Structure 1
């Protein structure tokens, strides 16, 4: 009697999503259940990623394969949130996607966490945004969920400031998400949000604000647009002391590696200098490891700027008035 042949390799792969498929789908294709699990044993050609979810190859699964496996494991209506969702929303700064993915599922569903997956049951399941066929939590929810699980204030600042600065979500939307999600893990994100609302755009600028507090100088305007006497736009000063027309620039190698970015930074510095504005450039790393030296440089720059006649430049900031 001739043995009935199961589906060929091409048919199995076509039924998968990038090589990820459920055991139930394989059985429905005609692969015996015993064969499915035999092929997932050590040394076999397949591997199990989650209960009942397989990868049709060996080796390290890709991030896309893990996301698909997580969604298959969690079931219908599951939504990807947290750092991986932030990355897929094109948020560039903050920590890389963590070791674990983060999914939201309806509160009535019982689903177990796995070695690469954290699952939160929620009564506030968001309406997903689809990116590449993956259901993502909206930006504000994804950022808030990620920020609650982070422990580093600097990482939280990078994540939140990038999302807000690039108009992917607003401070108000993030506050709403944190309020709706309760107090757990929200203290540091709320503190960072206050700084972002006041104009802080990066973790380096947050470090700068902390150093300014120790300097004894008056508070600057953070991220203030500056114009020359003719009204021409010079640039946005990271910190601006309007009384003495001093700009403090936190110049990060990380965001000026491209030649055109470096050129724009140099052109901006030249415009400030030509208009008579004093400018103090500081590398971000020095804000943390050379605090005393940077503080001394900042105070000296302020005093030097105060000792010269103030140039006819104008800036926009809290309580700013035309000169």
Structure 2
């Protein structure tokens, strides 16, 4: 009788139970902890066997083609460095690894992203210090700093801004890049500034087709944010302000533009839709100087971000309403000239 037909000692844990763990995708380390000997693994993975080696050290416990979920789990198992759990906590089998790029965008529900079944490679984000090479369907993307992963269908996935940036870094199709950037904003997956920050950190803003798409994106993001501010005033029952005006001292210097201004109460609203660029610090310093100057003149400046307007419009309406009501208790503001912008 040959070695191949010699019965092996049974595993302490029935293999049928193993097949239900993580969509029937397990690592060699997990098999060893369950008492499955390497000889048994090799036997099962022979040609025509019941199992297959999907990635180095990662096994698929059936012989058929892997599903999209199984490929995702296999990629995470391959790339992740398991973190030992604290007592009474669930283990973290993927370590810091998370799905990113087009696969992550498909999980986020981007219609512009190809379906998972069409992706030959699955991008997985790992720390830069991770010593591992891309293999099979797993393409490693290394980062100095990793964002906090979001859990989708039980898997760690990079947030939309980071996933878009990692996808764009691998693409050279201007139309697809434009569709992904547009959907990120129109689909409320993220704010334009957060997306541009990730593109800037990835040093992608020097690519002409990316710059063109970003300029269009920022213009559209600005319009969306202004629309939310209009809705805040309308739905919050606030008095109508003067929209998009410049403030000047009578016969004096230009004080700056604001997005909404209530002259009787001397309250201004300014939207922070700045995009992170190389001159971000200078731009922010200019904004701070303008705000301090207006407040020295007795003008209250309410600073609103696109995220606040999107996630908590009622709360922001209360902030503006409070500023308007507090005007009666303040000293009269200096007279300023209001001009259309």
Short-chain TM bin:
0.5 to 0.7
SS in 1 for 2:19: helix
Give the TM-score normalised by the residue count of structure 2: 0.55
Contact 1:94 1:156 in 2 (8 A): no
User: Which of 52, 66, 80 in structure 2 is aligned with 1:61?
Assistant: 66
Measured in 2, the distance between the counterparts of 1:115 and 1:77 equals 20
Listed one character per residue, the Cα deviations across residues 240-286 of structure 1 (whole Å, up to 9, x for unaligned) are: xxxxxxxxxxxxxxxxxxxxxxxxxxxxxxxxxxxxxxxxxxxxxxx
Measured in 2, the distance between the counterparts of 1:77 and 1:157 equals 30
Q: Which residue matches 2:203?
A: 182
1:166 equivalent in alignment to 2:166: no
Q: Which runs of 5+ in 1 are unaligned?
A: 201-220, 226-320
User: Which of 28, 46, 55 in structure 1 is aligned with 2:51?
Assistant: 46
SS in 1 for 2:23: coil
Q: Which residue matches 2:233?
A: none
SS in 2 for 1:198: helix
**Displacement, 1:185?**
7.9
Q: How does 1:36-115 map to 2 (within 5 A)?
A: 36-75=41-80, 76-97=95-116, 98-115=119-136
Contact 1:74 1:111 in 2 (8 A): yes
**Displacement, 1:164?**
0.8
Measured in 1, the distance between the counterparts of 2:175 and 2:209 equals 10
Residues 60, 183 of structure 1: alpha-carbon distance in 2 compared, 3 angstrom cutoff: same
Contact 2:165 2:198 in 1 (8 A): yes
Aligned residue pairs, count? 203
**Displacement, 1:114?**
1.0
**Displacement, 1:9?**
2.8
Measured in 1, the distance between the counterparts of 2:46 and 2:121 equals 24
1:10 equivalent in alignment to 2:16: yes
Residues 59, 5 of structure 1: alpha-carbon distance in 2 compared, 3 angstrom cutoff: closer
**Displacement, 1:180?**
0.8
Contact 1:67 1:101 in 2 (8 A): yes
Contact 2:24 2:70 in 1 (8 A): yes
Residues 39, 184 of structure 1: alpha-carbon distance in 2 compared, 3 angstrom cutoff: farther
Measured in 2, the distance between the counterparts of 1:101 and 1:3 equals 36
Give the TM-score normalised by the residue count of structure 1: 0.58
Measured in 1, the distance between the counterparts of 2:145 and 2:106 equals 22
Residues 3, 153 of structure 1: alpha-carbon distance in 2 compared, 3 angstrom cutoff: closer
Contact 1:99 1:116 in 2 (8 A): yes
Q: How does 1:172-211 map to 2 (within 5 A)?
A: 172-183=193-204, 186-199=207-220
Measured in 1, the distance between the counterparts of 2:72 and 2:123 equals 9
SS in 2 for 1:135: strand
Contact 2:98 2:157 in 1 (8 A): yes
Residues 143, 99 of structure 1: alpha-carbon distance in 2 compared, 3 angstrom cutoff: same
Residues 190, 41 of structure 1: alpha-carbon distance in 2 compared, 3 angstrom cutoff: farther
CA RMSD of aligned residues (A): 2.6
Q: Which residue matches 1:35?
A: 40
Listed one character per residue, the Cα deviations across residues 161-188 of structure 1 (whole Å, up to 9, x for unaligned) are: 1111111112211110011112488442
